[in-house]
Amino acid sequence: MPYEIIIGNGGEQPFTIPGSCRAVSHNHARFYVDDDGNWFITDLTGPTGNGTFIRDSNGEFRRINTKMIDRDTVIRLGSGGHNSFTFYANRIIAPDDFTFEFDLLHRQLNDIRQEQLMLEAENEKKAKRIRGIRLGGAVLTISFIAVSLITGSALGVAPAVLSGAVSAFLPTPDQKKVKDLIERKKTSMVCPKCFSPISETAVYNRVCPLCKAKG
Ligand SMILES: [Zn+2]
């Protein structure tokens, strides 16, 4: 027997589309299963609407009118960004399937980790450079002081002032960027179902320890 449901922010799908997804229409798309078990999605927003998109094998989202899909098809309601809603087709049948959301969390976590490593390496390099210049300045100061003592001039002060001036203009290790990354991790690593913060382990295990949402 064919099966048909309307997907949208007022739709019949077995999961809720957050109100923040403003690009999603009341009746946004039609999901249809024919007698042979084939799955189809049809856009209901029309050519001037926000559109229904599916992700192709190259990872690009393509606007569709009607398209045969399968469980693994990624569907996006709206043209992208925070206003749109994206999910795996399987969620229409299995509403507690958060595979897409956990995939996304994985990618975000990996990106953040990579950025963190790069930033740490960069900061270490900067710190080393600053230490080197300060050391050079100190050695220079000591030798000039020695010269000053011998010659009785005030020459020893010059390199100290100079090295101080140079290090003031050097970029210091960027702790702010590190803090921003940690903050970003905190705000993005939340459960897709209950929205409570979840640990990196939970993301890798693909299950929320609180509400047991998994994907
Ligand atoms: Zn949860």
| Residue-level pLDDT at 146 | 78
The CA 6 to ligand 1 mean position distance, Å, reads 26
Q: How far apart are CA 97 and CA 83, in angstroms?
A: 21
Alpha helices in 34-174 (DSSP H): 90-93, 99-151, 157-169
Per-residue pLDDT of the chain (215 residues; tens, 9 = 90+): 678 999 999 999 999 999 999 999 999 999 999 999 999 999 999 999 999 999 999 989 999 999 999 988 999 999 999 999 999 999 998 998 999 899 999 999 999 999 999 988 988 888 888 888 888 878 877 887 777 777 776 666 666 666 666 666 655 557 888 888 889 888 889 998 898 999 999 999 999 999 999 99
The CA 110 to ligand 1 mean position distance, Å, reads 20
Other Cβ atoms less than 10 A from the Cβ of 68: the count is 12
Q: Can you read off the two tokens belonging to residue 27?
A: 């009746």
The CA 215 to ligand 1 mean position distance, Å, reads 11
With beta carbons less than 8 A apart as the criterion, state whether 193 and 208 touch.
Answer: yes
| Residue-level pLDDT at 204 | 94
The CA 27 to ligand 1 mean position distance, Å, reads 28
The CA 47 to ligand 1 mean position distance, Å, reads 37
The CA 96 to ligand 1 mean position distance, Å, reads 11
- Tell me, what amino acid is at 58? N
The CA 72 to ligand 1 mean position distance, Å, reads 22
| Residue-level pLDDT at 2 | 77
Closest to 71 in 3D by CA, of 52, 44, 94, 53: 94
Q: Can you read off the two tokens belonging to residue 102?
A: 């956990």
The Cβ-side half-sphere exposure at 151, using a 13 Å CA radius, reads 10
The CA 210 to ligand 1 mean position distance, Å, reads 5
| Residue-level pLDDT at 200 | 94
Q: Strands 39-43, 61-64: parallel, antiparallel or unpaired by DSSP?
A: unpaired
